[in-house]
Structure 1
Amino acid sequence: MKQFSPSCERNKESILTVLQEVLPASGVVLEIGSGSGQHAAYFARALPQLEWQPSDVAENLPSIRAWRAEAGLPNLREPLLLDLFAEPWPVTSVQALVCINTVHIVSWPGVEKLFTGAGRLLASGAVMFVYGPYRYSTRPLEPSNEEFDRWLKARDAQSGVRLFEDVNALAHENGLMLAGDRAMPANNRSIWWIKK
């Protein structure tokens, strides 16, 4: 029932440092692709001024619920069933959107749905934050990410390390303006946009 992700355990502190900087002082944060639920429990505890709304596909909800039950936090909400392709999304108003290690897992049409959904959902001034590996047209992909990209594509041909410029163009098309792009441990990036 309760899943454990070693990568979540490794990256939670470094991600939190950026979230503390970019998230609003109050309001609801929608986390898309909450996975095991570890991040939701950790961030909700560290950011008590925010309401943390986890979400994911059906198969991951039991683990998220288990982490939520164990945490017992008043600001950690019951997870929502959210399929990027199912419209409308089951939430109508949030002050920020967080999406960790999801963009390289879902198909490109899924990434498009993520950004069109974010563009519709977020009000002017709201933040969209993503974390994960990215490739850039201006420099070679790190060997570890080349290997990871091969592994992803062998597992699912529609997934893979995305080109930053493509993702940023998609954000821009949906009214999201680049506000930050920061190098993180293990050749990952924290990238965030502000809704116009």
Structure 2
Amino acid sequence: MAEKPYSPSCERNRDPILGVLREHFAGRRHVLEIGSGTGQHAVHFAAALPRLSWQSSDRAENLPGIRAWLDEATLPNTPPPLALDVGSAWPPGPFDAVFSANTLHIMAWPEVQQLFAHLPAVTTGDAVLAIYGPFNRQGHYSSDSNAAFDASLKARGAHMGIRDAEAVDTLAAAAGFALVDDVAMPANNRCRVWRRHG
């Protein structure tokens, strides 16, 4: 078995996020998690929300670590993780919920655009989308710590950066998703929730 990767931030943010998912994923059945990272969120949320089938996914190089978490947990509602690069082929679905944490500021903006553009093909007509992470407001940082974080991201790669909430909302709207909640999270993050309409 591969060694389990570990993210301290996942441990810190999992319960605040779970509170949002309990409300907005009520009545959902099949969740696609985009960018599952270490796999910690998948195990925690699937254990807490056993009625959901929690489909984790990430780039192929991250799948062994995710499998290590899933294999240890042996939960009945976590199918094997899928290889997913937002610019390539997507799983057919349909999923009635989609979740992603701390991904939009790592992806290049064209990849963020591709993520939202693919959603209509893989989600149900009433699907719920929940995304956790830092967001700017009308081009302004919400805190000094987010400004410092954004600078550190851009130092790692020019394609990275905290995204403007309004720009993300525009992408969501083009995919048929309307914002229904925007919840303040610890450490100047947000959990933003959209619902597909029509």
TM bracket (short chain): over 0.9
Q: CA deviation at 1:74?
A: 0.4
TM-score calculated relative to the size of structure 2? 0.95
Change (3 A) 1:139 1:152: closer
Cα deviation 1:7-53 (Å, max 9, x = unaligned): 00000000000000001324110000000000000000000010000
Backbone CA RMSD of aligned residues: 1.2
Task: Please name the residue that 2:126 is paired with.
Answer: 125
Contact kept, 8 Å, 1:136 with 1:163, in 2: the verdict is yes
TM-score calculated relative to the size of structure 1? 0.96
Contact kept, 8 Å, 1:24 with 1:96, in 2: the verdict is no
Structure 1: segments with no counterpart, 5+ residues = none
- 2: CA distance, partners of 1:111 / 1:66: 28
- 1: CA distance, partners of 2:149 / 2:98: 25
Change (3 A) 1:86 1:125: same
Contact kept, 8 Å, 1:24 with 1:95, in 2: the verdict is no
Contact kept, 8 Å, 2:57 with 2:84, in 1: the verdict is yes
Number of matched pairs: 195
- 2: CA distance, partners of 1:138 / 1:155: 21
Match of 2:132, SS state, is strand
Q: Does 1:59 align with 2:61?
A: yes
- 1: CA distance, partners of 2:73 / 2:54: 12
Q: CA deviation at 1:139?
A: 5.4
Q: Does 1:170 align with 2:171?
A: yes
Match of 1:126, SS state, is strand
Identity percentage of aligned residues: 49
Contact kept, 8 Å, 1:115 with 1:174, in 2: the verdict is yes
Structure 2: segments with no counterpart, 5+ residues = none
Q: CA deviation at 1:138?
A: 7.7
Task: Please name the residue that 1:75 is paired with.
Answer: 77
